[in-house]
Amino acid sequence: MILHKGERVYWGAPEVMYLEGTITALDEEQQRVTVLVERATPYSAHLIGSQVPFAADGIKPLLGDSPPGVTSERSTQRIPMPVLSEDEKLKRAAAVAVHERYGYALPPAQEQLLIEQVRQVIAADAQMRATILASMDEILRREL
């Protein structure tokens, strides 16, 4: 395990579901970490201030600033995940891929063009499309 107590980490992607915070405990034997959630997408904002366990290989160190679309304000009510069309799921998956590769600093027109190009590639490959839709459905059903 290469993670450290006090390290800032994140799980997920703001285009779907995202949690960010500080590692408060490590369990090397179980390969688990506990994170104090400090920022999240609106659908997960009820978890802000909570200690959440994660598999160590499921989180990444946060490098730089938090991505856009997340909040540090805890929600007192759980907001349901949105119901997304298949096309919207593919578009969000494409956005995740573009942001993982290029970050959030591209000019908006270039970013949207890249997202659309990636969405088209995903949509044209039946196996990739099915895999991504199944993964998105699993993520959107997840109860944290």
Domain ranges of the chain: 1-80, 86-141
Instruction: Evaluate whether 11 touches 58 at the Cβ level (below 8 Å).
Output: yes
Nearest CA among 133, 128, 46, 130 for reference residue 88: 133
Single pTM value for the model: 0.84
125 pLDDT band, cuts 50/70/90, is: very high
Residue 9 bridge partners (DSSP):
21, 61
- Third-level CATH fold of 1-80: SH3 type barrels. (2.30.30)
pLDDT tens digit string along 82-96? Answer: 789 999 999 999 999
* Alpha carbon distance 71, 66 (integer Å): 9
